Amino acid sequence: MKFVCLIYHEETRLATMSAEEFGALRGSYVAFTQSIIDGGQLIAGEALQPTHTATSVRVRHGQLTTTDGPFVETREQVGGFFLIEARDLNEAIQIAARIPDASTGGIEVRPVVEFSPPGTNAVD
């Protein structure tokens, strides 16, 4: 099964880290990423630019509106994601628990809807 692991952290924490702290965090991510590559579990993963670069898009009654920044005001922001392959939710949770920001932020684990090939009109 495919799962997305959304990484939530406080952007202000990253902005106030020393070079040594940031280097240690980056090293933790490199090690974690290599471990899920080696385990055959990584499908994709990316870090996101800070929330001030976001644009929220909405269409209501045919009218497009955009808003600078994220839609939700929260203490923690989505900072990136991993798309992983796991046997089940329990294995996905165990993988997510190893993501470095799990110790200071939070990781949302959500199953991915896997659609059947085009033309079959089925959802797996």
Q: What is the pTM of this model?
A: 0.83
In the structure, how many helices (H) and strands (E) does the chain have? 3, 6
Q: Which of 123, 117, 121, 99 is nearest to 4 (CA)?
A: 99
* Sign, Cα dihedral of 27, 28, 31, 34: negative
User: Using CA atoms, how far apart are residues 60 and 25, in angstroms rounded to an integer?
Assistant: 41
Average pLDDT over the chain, rounded to an integer = 89
Q: Which domains, and CATH codes, for the chain?
A: 2-111 (3.30.70.1060)
Q: What is the pLDDT of residue 11?
A: 87
User: In the structure, what pLDDT confidence band is assigned to residue 115 with cuts at 50, 70 and 90?
Assistant: confident
